[in-house]
Structure 1
Amino acid sequence: MQLYNLQKCSPNAFGGLLGPLLALFPLDVVLFPGIPLPLHIFEPRYKEMIGECLDQKSLFGVIRAQESTLADVGCTAEILAVTKTYDDGRMDIVAQGRERFELLEVNQERPFLRGEILYVADEPEKPTEEERARAIELHRQILALANAQQDLPEGDDPPLSYHLAGSLPLDLDFKQKLLGLRSESRRIQTVIEYFEGILPTLHRAVQIRQKAGGNGHSH
């Protein structure tokens, strides 16, 4: 995964030639298109940023941050609702992922980061019905181990791979890799491989918990 060192980014190396700058919200999160993201906004710079997005009905970009570096691919987010406001200007919002973008350059002229971006389009390659069914079944097995159920969205909006990965607390490196893949076929294959890899570990963890829970003594 390519990362951008914020200490080395110039204020505006591209001079705005690539269009309007996108406000960036660096988080230790990977957001997928179509997936909701609740956020608590409390830092002054992000209260300013979200306030502008609300006033202008504009998007902002969610991009994974690790210490002083940013990932090279993120996802735009649309604010769906402000669920709570506080007297000191803090707010709770629900946003939803919209489109993937590639981060080309970081601009630091405002209190919050902005970025020169290019939107990332998918290649037309689609998964087979067998691959889709396999991915759905593995997802169901993972949910069953947690005694959970979840309805799948109808159609392909968002793409199935984003829903399957975005609905589970999975490794962020895996999620970032998935976000960068440019075809649904490759994403579904990657999801299948990942789910098949973690299921044995999840099964063992459940068995250990069950054994531990059955070792109590009655008096």
Structure 2
Amino acid sequence: MARVSIFPLSGALLYPGLQLPLHIFEPRYRALISDALARDRRIGMVQPQRAEDGAPLFAIGCLGRIGEFEALDDGRYNVILEGESRFRILRELDVTTAFRQVEAELLSEPADGPLAPIERASFEREARRFADSQGYSVNWEQVSRLDDVSLINGVSQIAPFDAAAKQALLEANGLSERCELLVQLMQFFGRRAEGDDDGVTLQ
């Protein structure tokens, strides 16, 4: 178990092995970064369940280590957070700090092998359809050179889905399960964007 100082931010997810740039301007989160830099440089990224102050938190987040950072003259920070481990919140702690803290269990990541060729092909096919429907310009040659983990987790982190969908991706148990869910979500949100809601489900 670990005591984790958290940054609740809807739509901003971090995955182990990936990076997340953050611009920190609120006083309580400037205090969070300052405290982390003085200690072990680690904070937890987790989504709130509602967009309001003090809202309940989703159970799964990701611990990140502050890598590069820039302390601005007015007290703000620009930081690059490097994902280390997902965690499960056990309970929120009663603290006097301006930022929230939790007791958490660090989760070991599944020993993922590579995706099956049919899984990778299915993902890339659906990703092309989704990108076209959303009007995104993608360098597919560069995408094809990414390893499976970087590709699936990277797309999961930046995909323009709602908070609940992004949370489901973070909670997926392993790369294959996350890939399958990602394909379903691209189908769902892609069709919804085209106005084809009839019969579209996430099941």
- TM-score past 0.5 threshold: yes
Gaps in structure 1 of 5+ consecutive residues: 1-17, 206-219
AA aligned opposite 2:138:
Q
Deviations 1:45-103 (A, max 9, x none): 221221122233421101101232100000112223224x4333112222233321101
Identity %: 25
Residue 140 to residue 61, structure 1, CA distance change in 2 (3 Å): same
**Contact 1:40–1:93 (CA under 8 A) maintained in structure 2:** yes
CA distance in 2, matches of 1:87, 1:30: 25
**Contact 1:125–1:184 (CA under 8 A) maintained in structure 2:** yes
Residue 200 to residue 46, structure 1, CA distance change in 2 (3 Å): closer
Give yes or no for the alignment of 1:117 onto 2:100. Answer: no
**Contact 1:30–1:176 (CA under 8 A) maintained in structure 2:** no
**Contact 1:121–1:182 (CA under 8 A) maintained in structure 2:** no
Deviations 1:136-162 (A, max 9, x none): 22223322342411433633444x322
1:108 alignment counterpart = 94
1:165 alignment counterpart = 156
Bigger-Rg structure (1/2): 1
Q: CA deviation at 1:196?
A: 2.0
Please give the TM-score of this superposition, normalised by the length of structure 1: 0.73
Q: 2:137 aligns with which of 140, 144, 148?
A: 148
Q: 1:27 aligns with which of 9, 15, 26?
A: 9
CA distance in 2, matches of 1:54, 1:44: 15
**Contact 1:31–1:97 (CA under 8 A) maintained in structure 2:** no
AA aligned opposite 1:52:
D
AA aligned opposite 1:174:
A
AA aligned opposite 1:69:
P
Q: CA deviation at 1:43?
A: 2.5
CA distance in 2, matches of 1:54, 1:78: 10
Gaps in structure 2 of 5+ consecutive residues: 197-203
CA RMSD, aligned part only? 2.4
**Contact 2:14–2:45 (CA under 8 A) maintained in structure 1:** no
